[in-house]
Amino acid sequence: MSAEPTLPPAAAPTHATPSIGLLSGLMRFEEALYAAVGILLAVAAVLVLVGTVHELVHAISTGAGAVSTAVTVLDRILLTLIIAELVYTLRFVLRTHEIVADPFLFIGLIAVVRRILIVTAQFEHPLASGRALTNLLLELGLLGFLVLALSIALALIRHHRVTTAFSPNEGAVS
């Protein structure tokens, strides 16, 4: 019986850890992807702002109703805030390399408020039937519940962050 030669532990191939080059390549790709998304978000924000100004000028020149014009402008402003919050989140992820829930909850809250604005603006127009009114009221109630749920989630996350930041037992093993 012949004994097979064994490699010393340092010379044994390691298949569990990827190469440094692959990891750095993936990190560069990820940063390039985030940069491209950031540029596209900036373009979207500029387009929304330009479209808002154009709609406002058009509404003023045609004598459109003040309420519908105001709703359109507020809708576009909230959309711009959503884009700005996405850019902030993207910047935060690039800087810290971690994803947190707060910005996404704010984005959801702004989106819900935006939808509430659109639904309440629909009350200005005559409804086709009683069923349409029921659907609008049901949607408005669900949106109100979403505002409450997102606000509670934000409060809980912030409370948790504050209590863990000032916890005297942080890092202690029990």
Dist CA 56 CA 45 (whole Å): 16
Q: What is the pTM of this model?
A: 0.71
Phi, psi of 54 (to 5 degrees): -60, -45
pLDDT average, residue stretch 161-169: 75
C-alpha distances out from residue 76 to 40, 105, 117, 160, 168, Å: 17, 19, 11, 33, 46
> For residue range 59-84, what is the model confidence (pLDDT) as tens digits?
989 888 888 888 888 889 999 999 99
> For residue range 76-108, what is the model confidence (pLDDT) as tens digits?
999 999 999 999 998 888 888 888 888 899 999
How many contiguous H segments (helices) and E segments (strands) does the chain have? 4, 0
With beta carbons less than 8 A apart as the criterion, state whether 41 and 87 touch: yes
Dist CA 47 CA 55 (whole Å): 12
Helix (H) or strand (E) holding 61: helix 20-62
Tokens at 44, concatenated: 């979207």
Q: What is the pLDDT of residue 131?
A: 83
Q: How confident is the model at residue 49 (pLDDT cuts 50, 70, 90)?
A: very high
* pLDDT of 116 strictly over 80: yes
Direct distance between the N- and C-terminal alpha carbons of the chain, in angstroms, rounded to an integer: 53
Q: How confident is the model at residue 174 (pLDDT cuts 50, 70, 90)?
A: very low
The answer to which of 7-11, 31-35, 85-89, 136-140 has the lowest mean pLDDT is 7-11
Q: What is the pLDDT of residue 138?
A: 93
Local structure of residue 3 (DSSP, 8 states): P
